[in-house]
Amino acid sequence: MLLELPRLKKTRMRYISSTHKVGEKHQDFYTVSAKSEYTIAEIEGPGMIVSLWMTIGSRDKNILRRAILRIYWDGETSPSVEVPVGDFFGSAGNMGEYTHLGQNIPIGLGKYIHFWSLPIGSTSGGYYTYFPMPFNRALIKLANMSDIDIDLLYYMIGYTTTEDTDNMARFHAIWRREKYTKLGEPYTILIARGRGHYVGTLLAMEGHEKHKVFGGLGFLEGNMEIISDGELAYGSTGTEDYFLSGWYFIKGTFNAPFHGLLIKDSENFKIVAYRFHIPDPIPFEKELIVRIHHGEWDEVLADYSSVAYW
Protein backbone atom coordinates (compact mmCIF):
# COMPACT_ATOMS: atom_id res chain seq x y z
CA MET A 1 0.00 0.00 0.00
CA LEU A 2 2.68 2.53 1.00
CA LEU A 3 4.85 1.53 -1.95
CA GLU A 4 2.04 2.53 -4.33
CA LEU A 5 1.85 6.12 -3.05
CA PRO A 6 4.68 7.49 -5.25
CA ARG A 7 3.31 5.82 -8.38
CA LEU A 8 1.56 8.39 -10.59
CA LYS A 9 -1.84 7.28 -11.83
CA LYS A 10 -4.23 8.58 -14.46
CA THR A 11 -7.26 8.48 -12.19
CA ARG A 12 -9.41 10.99 -10.36
CA MET A 13 -10.36 10.83 -6.70
CA ARG A 14 -13.84 12.04 -5.80
CA TYR A 15 -15.90 12.16 -2.60
CA ILE A 16 -19.65 12.16 -2.05
CA SER A 17 -20.89 13.43 1.31
CA SER A 18 -24.09 14.14 3.19
CA THR A 19 -23.38 17.89 3.16
CA HIS A 20 -26.01 19.72 1.11
CA LYS A 21 -27.71 23.09 0.88
CA VAL A 22 -30.96 23.92 2.64
CA GLY A 23 -31.95 27.32 1.32
CA GLU A 24 -28.96 29.60 1.73
CA LYS A 25 -27.38 27.42 4.40
CA HIS A 26 -25.69 24.05 4.30
CA GLN A 27 -26.59 20.99 6.34
CA ASP A 28 -24.22 18.10 7.00
CA PHE A 29 -26.75 15.33 7.63
CA TYR A 30 -29.96 13.82 6.31
CA THR A 31 -32.97 12.46 8.16
CA VAL A 32 -34.32 9.06 7.12
CA SER A 33 -37.98 8.52 8.01
CA ALA A 34 -39.19 5.36 9.71
CA LYS A 35 -39.90 2.45 7.36
CA SER A 36 -38.29 4.20 4.39
CA GLU A 37 -35.26 3.82 2.15
CA TYR A 38 -32.79 6.59 1.36
CA THR A 39 -30.47 6.66 -1.65
CA ILE A 40 -27.01 7.63 -0.44
CA ALA A 41 -25.28 7.63 -3.83
CA GLU A 42 -25.65 6.77 -7.50
CA ILE A 43 -22.28 6.71 -9.26
CA GLU A 44 -21.59 6.16 -12.94
CA GLY A 45 -18.33 4.38 -13.67
CA PRO A 46 -16.19 2.64 -14.36
CA GLY A 47 -14.72 3.30 -10.95
CA MET A 48 -13.86 1.88 -7.56
CA ILE A 49 -15.10 2.81 -4.10
CA VAL A 50 -12.01 2.95 -1.88
CA SER A 51 -13.45 4.33 1.36
CA LEU A 52 -16.86 4.59 3.00
CA TRP A 53 -17.56 6.29 6.34
CA MET A 54 -20.84 6.97 8.11
CA THR A 55 -22.39 7.60 11.49
CA ILE A 56 -26.01 7.43 12.61
CA GLY A 57 -28.06 9.02 15.37
CA SER A 58 -31.52 7.78 16.31
CA ARG A 59 -33.76 7.51 19.36
CA ASP A 60 -34.01 3.79 18.56
CA LYS A 61 -31.25 2.15 20.61
CA ASN A 62 -31.26 -0.80 18.21
CA ILE A 63 -30.93 1.31 15.07
CA LEU A 64 -27.66 -0.24 13.93
CA ARG A 65 -29.43 -3.57 13.58
CA ARG A 66 -32.53 -1.98 12.03
CA ALA A 67 -30.69 0.23 9.52
CA ILE A 68 -29.72 -1.91 6.53
CA LEU A 69 -26.89 -1.04 4.14
CA ARG A 70 -27.68 -2.13 0.57
CA ILE A 71 -25.30 -1.80 -2.36
CA TYR A 72 -26.14 -2.68 -5.98
CA TRP A 73 -23.61 -3.06 -8.79
CA ASP A 74 -24.08 -2.51 -12.51
CA GLY A 75 -27.87 -2.27 -12.58
CA GLU A 76 -28.60 -5.46 -10.64
CA THR A 77 -32.02 -5.74 -8.99
CA SER A 78 -30.89 -7.71 -5.92
CA PRO A 79 -28.22 -6.12 -3.70
CA SER A 80 -24.70 -7.55 -3.54
CA VAL A 81 -24.38 -6.07 -0.06
CA GLU A 82 -27.29 -6.35 2.38
CA VAL A 83 -26.17 -6.13 5.99
CA PRO A 84 -27.30 -4.23 9.11
CA VAL A 85 -25.03 -1.22 9.51
CA GLY A 86 -23.69 -2.20 12.92
CA ASP A 87 -22.86 -5.73 11.85
CA PHE A 88 -21.22 -4.64 8.59
CA PHE A 89 -18.74 -2.41 10.41
CA GLY A 90 -18.20 -4.85 13.29
CA SER A 91 -19.95 -2.83 15.99
CA ALA A 92 -22.66 -4.20 18.25
CA GLY A 93 -23.75 -2.14 21.19
CA ASN A 94 -25.02 1.02 22.83
CA MET A 95 -22.33 3.65 23.26
CA GLY A 96 -24.58 5.97 25.25
CA GLU A 97 -26.31 9.22 24.35
CA TYR A 98 -25.50 12.73 23.23
CA THR A 99 -27.60 15.89 23.10
CA HIS A 100 -28.66 17.38 19.76
CA LEU A 101 -31.25 20.14 19.44
CA GLY A 102 -32.27 19.54 23.04
CA GLN A 103 -32.85 15.80 22.59
CA ASN A 104 -30.88 12.88 24.01
CA ILE A 105 -30.08 10.65 21.04
CA PRO A 106 -28.61 7.17 21.60
CA ILE A 107 -26.02 5.85 19.15
CA GLY A 108 -25.37 2.22 18.46
CA LEU A 109 -26.78 -1.23 19.11
CA GLY A 110 -26.42 -2.95 22.49
CA LYS A 111 -22.74 -2.40 23.20
CA TYR A 112 -20.64 -0.08 21.07
CA ILE A 113 -17.35 -1.77 20.17
CA HIS A 114 -14.46 0.64 19.72
CA PHE A 115 -11.95 -1.10 17.46
CA TRP A 116 -10.05 -0.88 14.20
CA SER A 117 -8.91 -3.34 11.57
CA LEU A 118 -7.52 -2.83 8.09
CA PRO A 119 -10.80 -3.21 6.14
CA ILE A 120 -13.46 -2.15 8.71
CA GLY A 121 -13.78 -0.45 12.07
CA SER A 122 -15.82 1.53 14.59
CA THR A 123 -13.70 4.41 15.81
CA SER A 124 -14.88 6.97 18.34
CA GLY A 125 -18.44 7.12 17.03
CA GLY A 126 -17.76 6.66 13.31
CA TYR A 127 -17.93 3.54 11.12
CA TYR A 128 -15.62 2.94 8.17
CA THR A 129 -14.56 0.45 5.52
CA TYR A 130 -11.62 0.42 3.13
CA PHE A 131 -12.76 -2.64 1.18
CA PRO A 132 -12.14 -1.92 -2.54
CA MET A 133 -15.40 -2.06 -4.48
CA PRO A 134 -15.06 -1.83 -8.29
CA PHE A 135 -18.12 -1.01 -10.39
CA ASN A 136 -19.45 0.13 -13.73
CA ARG A 137 -22.42 1.61 -11.90
CA ALA A 138 -22.97 1.83 -8.14
CA LEU A 139 -26.17 2.37 -6.18
CA ILE A 140 -25.89 2.70 -2.39
CA LYS A 141 -28.99 2.79 -0.18
CA LEU A 142 -29.85 2.82 3.50
CA ALA A 143 -33.12 1.21 4.58
CA ASN A 144 -34.57 2.29 7.92
CA MET A 145 -36.58 -0.72 9.13
CA SER A 146 -37.31 0.93 12.49
CA ASP A 147 -40.57 2.51 13.58
CA ILE A 148 -38.48 5.53 14.62
CA ASP A 149 -36.78 8.05 12.35
CA ILE A 150 -33.04 8.19 11.86
CA ASP A 151 -32.55 11.77 12.98
CA LEU A 152 -28.98 12.10 11.78
CA LEU A 153 -27.24 10.30 8.93
CA TYR A 154 -23.75 11.52 8.05
CA TYR A 155 -21.61 9.88 5.36
CA MET A 156 -18.58 10.30 3.12
CA ILE A 157 -17.78 7.98 0.20
CA GLY A 158 -14.48 8.11 -1.66
CA TYR A 159 -14.09 6.60 -5.13
CA THR A 160 -11.64 6.69 -8.02
CA THR A 161 -12.26 6.64 -11.75
CA THR A 162 -10.73 3.70 -13.62
CA GLU A 163 -10.46 2.69 -17.25
CA ASP A 164 -11.95 -0.80 -16.94
CA THR A 165 -13.45 -2.96 -14.19
CA ASP A 166 -14.82 -5.82 -16.31
CA ASN A 167 -12.08 -8.21 -15.17
CA MET A 168 -12.54 -7.30 -11.49
CA ALA A 169 -14.78 -9.18 -9.07
CA ARG A 170 -17.63 -7.32 -7.39
CA PHE A 171 -17.67 -6.93 -3.60
CA HIS A 172 -20.35 -8.83 -1.65
CA ALA A 173 -21.41 -9.04 1.98
CA ILE A 174 -24.34 -10.87 3.57
CA TRP A 175 -25.69 -11.13 7.12
CA ARG A 176 -27.27 -14.25 8.61
CA ARG A 177 -28.61 -15.24 12.01
CA GLU A 178 -29.95 -18.32 13.72
CA LYS A 179 -31.32 -17.41 17.13
CA TYR A 180 -31.37 -21.11 17.93
CA THR A 181 -28.77 -23.18 16.12
CA LYS A 182 -29.94 -26.57 14.88
CA LEU A 183 -28.71 -29.51 16.92
CA GLY A 184 -26.72 -31.89 14.76
CA GLU A 185 -26.26 -29.34 11.95
CA PRO A 186 -23.51 -26.73 11.50
CA TYR A 187 -24.31 -23.03 11.23
CA THR A 188 -24.03 -21.85 7.63
CA ILE A 189 -22.26 -18.53 7.16
CA LEU A 190 -22.34 -18.45 3.36
CA ILE A 191 -23.28 -20.37 0.25
CA ALA A 192 -22.05 -18.46 -2.81
CA ARG A 193 -22.13 -19.51 -6.44
CA GLY A 194 -19.97 -18.20 -9.24
CA ARG A 195 -16.32 -17.18 -9.21
CA GLY A 196 -14.62 -15.14 -6.53
CA HIS A 197 -12.47 -14.87 -3.41
CA TYR A 198 -13.62 -15.32 0.18
CA VAL A 199 -12.11 -12.47 2.19
CA GLY A 200 -13.59 -12.36 5.68
CA THR A 201 -15.86 -13.43 8.54
CA LEU A 202 -17.45 -11.54 11.42
CA LEU A 203 -19.08 -13.94 13.89
CA ALA A 204 -21.15 -13.27 17.03
CA MET A 205 -21.96 -16.24 19.28
CA GLU A 206 -24.04 -16.53 22.44
CA GLY A 207 -24.58 -19.86 24.15
CA HIS A 208 -28.04 -20.71 25.46
CA GLU A 209 -26.69 -23.38 27.79
CA LYS A 210 -23.54 -24.72 29.40
CA HIS A 211 -21.70 -27.60 27.81
CA LYS A 212 -21.53 -30.56 30.22
CA VAL A 213 -17.74 -30.77 29.87
CA PHE A 214 -16.51 -27.46 28.46
CA GLY A 215 -18.81 -24.99 30.22
CA GLY A 216 -20.53 -21.86 28.94
CA LEU A 217 -18.17 -21.29 26.01
CA GLY A 218 -18.33 -24.92 24.90
CA PHE A 219 -19.62 -23.90 21.48
CA LEU A 220 -16.02 -22.85 20.72
CA GLU A 221 -15.17 -26.54 20.32
CA GLY A 222 -16.81 -26.30 16.88
CA ASN A 223 -14.55 -26.30 13.81
CA MET A 224 -14.72 -23.84 10.92
CA GLU A 225 -15.02 -25.33 7.42
CA ILE A 226 -14.57 -23.55 4.10
CA ILE A 227 -15.43 -25.71 1.09
CA SER A 228 -14.29 -24.44 -2.32
CA ASP A 229 -15.72 -26.18 -5.40
CA GLY A 230 -16.54 -29.31 -3.42
CA GLU A 231 -13.15 -29.61 -1.70
CA LEU A 232 -12.30 -28.70 1.88
CA ALA A 233 -10.04 -25.67 1.50
CA TYR A 234 -9.88 -24.81 5.20
CA GLY A 235 -10.69 -26.78 8.34
CA SER A 236 -9.85 -25.31 11.73
CA THR A 237 -9.05 -27.12 14.97
CA GLY A 238 -11.62 -25.07 16.88
CA THR A 239 -13.53 -21.81 16.63
CA GLU A 240 -11.00 -19.62 18.42
CA ASP A 241 -8.23 -21.23 16.37
CA TYR A 242 -9.86 -19.96 13.16
CA PHE A 243 -9.63 -16.48 14.66
CA LEU A 244 -5.88 -17.09 15.22
CA SER A 245 -6.25 -17.40 18.99
CA GLY A 246 -6.20 -20.29 21.46
CA TRP A 247 -7.51 -21.83 24.67
CA TYR A 248 -10.94 -20.15 24.43
CA PHE A 249 -9.31 -16.73 23.82
CA ILE A 250 -7.36 -17.07 27.07
CA LYS A 251 -5.88 -13.54 27.07
CA GLY A 252 -9.12 -11.70 26.32
CA THR A 253 -10.11 -9.06 23.80
CA PHE A 254 -7.77 -7.52 21.22
CA ASN A 255 -7.84 -6.11 17.73
CA ALA A 256 -5.29 -6.43 14.93
CA PRO A 257 -5.29 -5.53 11.21
CA PHE A 258 -6.66 -8.89 10.04
CA HIS A 259 -8.21 -10.56 13.12
CA GLY A 260 -9.52 -9.76 16.56
CA LEU A 261 -11.75 -10.60 19.52
CA LEU A 262 -14.23 -7.81 20.19
CA ILE A 263 -16.30 -9.30 23.03
CA LYS A 264 -15.55 -12.08 25.51
CA ASP A 265 -18.19 -12.45 28.22
CA SER A 266 -17.64 -15.77 29.96
CA GLU A 267 -20.48 -15.22 32.45
CA ASN A 268 -23.08 -14.68 29.72
CA PHE A 269 -21.46 -17.03 27.17
CA LYS A 270 -20.84 -14.33 24.52
CA ILE A 271 -18.09 -14.07 21.90
CA VAL A 272 -17.68 -11.67 18.95
CA ALA A 273 -14.64 -12.12 16.69
CA TYR A 274 -13.45 -11.34 13.17
CA ARG A 275 -10.92 -12.58 10.65
CA PHE A 276 -10.08 -11.16 7.24
CA HIS A 277 -8.37 -13.24 4.59
CA ILE A 278 -6.51 -10.29 3.10
CA PRO A 279 -3.10 -12.03 2.96
CA ASP A 280 -4.75 -15.40 2.21
CA PRO A 281 -7.98 -15.00 0.17
CA ILE A 282 -9.71 -18.30 -0.60
CA PRO A 283 -10.57 -18.57 -4.33
CA PHE A 284 -13.47 -20.50 -5.83
CA GLU A 285 -14.60 -21.07 -9.41
CA LYS A 286 -18.15 -22.38 -9.03
CA GLU A 287 -19.30 -22.60 -5.41
CA LEU A 288 -18.17 -21.71 -1.91
CA ILE A 289 -19.65 -22.99 1.36
CA VAL A 290 -18.60 -21.49 4.69
CA ARG A 291 -19.93 -23.13 7.83
CA ILE A 292 -19.02 -23.55 11.48
CA HIS A 293 -19.92 -26.18 14.05
CA HIS A 294 -21.37 -25.14 17.41
CA GLY A 295 -19.64 -27.61 19.67
CA GLU A 296 -17.64 -30.59 18.41
CA TRP A 297 -20.76 -32.32 17.12
CA ASP A 298 -23.17 -29.37 16.88
CA GLU A 299 -24.54 -30.30 20.28
CA VAL A 300 -24.52 -26.81 21.85
CA LEU A 301 -27.67 -24.70 21.49
CA ALA A 302 -26.63 -21.12 20.76
CA ASP A 303 -27.49 -17.85 19.00
CA TYR A 304 -25.17 -17.25 16.02
CA SER A 305 -25.06 -14.27 13.67
CA SER A 306 -22.48 -13.55 11.01
CA VAL A 307 -21.31 -11.35 8.18
CA ALA A 308 -19.54 -12.99 5.25
CA TYR A 309 -17.38 -10.81 3.00
CA TRP A 310 -16.37 -12.04 -0.46
CATH code, domain carrying 75: 2.60.120.1390
226 and 266 share a domain? Answer: yes
Q: What are phi and psi of 66, to 5 degrees?
A: -100, -5
What is the structure's pLDDT at 74?
97
Number of domains, the chain: 2
Q: Has residue 73 been placed in a domain?
A: yes
Predicted pLDDT at 97: 43
Residues 155 and 195 in one domain: no
144 shares a domain with 184: no
**pLDDT at residue 258 above 60?**
yes
- What is the mean pLDDT of the segment spanning 20-27? 82
- Residue 289 structural domain: 173-309
Q: Residue 201 falls within a domain, yes or no?
A: yes
6-11: Cβ within 8 A, 24+ apart: 10/163, 11/160, 11/161, 11/162
pLDDT of the residue at 111: 54
Task: Determine, yes or no, domain membership for 304.
Answer: yes
Task: With respect to residue 263, please indicate whether it lies within any of the assigned structural domains.
Answer: yes
Q: Which of 177-181, 194-198, 226-230 is predicted with the least confidence, judged by mean pLDDT?
A: 177-181
Residue 94's pLDDT is what? Answer: 32
Same domain as 72, residue 40: yes
Surface-to-core class of residue 166, CB atoms within 10 Å of its CB (0-12 exposed, 13-18 middle, 19+ buried): exposed
Residues 18 and 157 in one domain: yes
Share of the chain above pLDDT 90, in %: 80
- Whether residue 156 is found in the same domain as residue 289: no
Q: Is the pLDDT at 99 greater than 60, yes or no?
A: no
Indicate whether 210 pLDDT > 90: no
Q: Which of 161, 189, 218 is the last residue of a domain?
A: 161
Residues 81 and 43 in one domain: yes
Q: What is the mean pLDDT of the chain?
A: 91
232: confidence class by pLDDT, cuts 50, 70, 90: very high
Question: In terms of domains, do 28 and 141 share one?
Answer: yes
* Residues 136 and 211 grouped into a single domain: no
Quickly state the pLDDT bin for 92 (edges 50, 70, 90): low
Mean pLDDT along residues 231-247: 97
Residue 212 reports pLDDT greater than 80: no
User: CA 287, CA 154: separation in Å to the nearest integer?
Assistant: 37
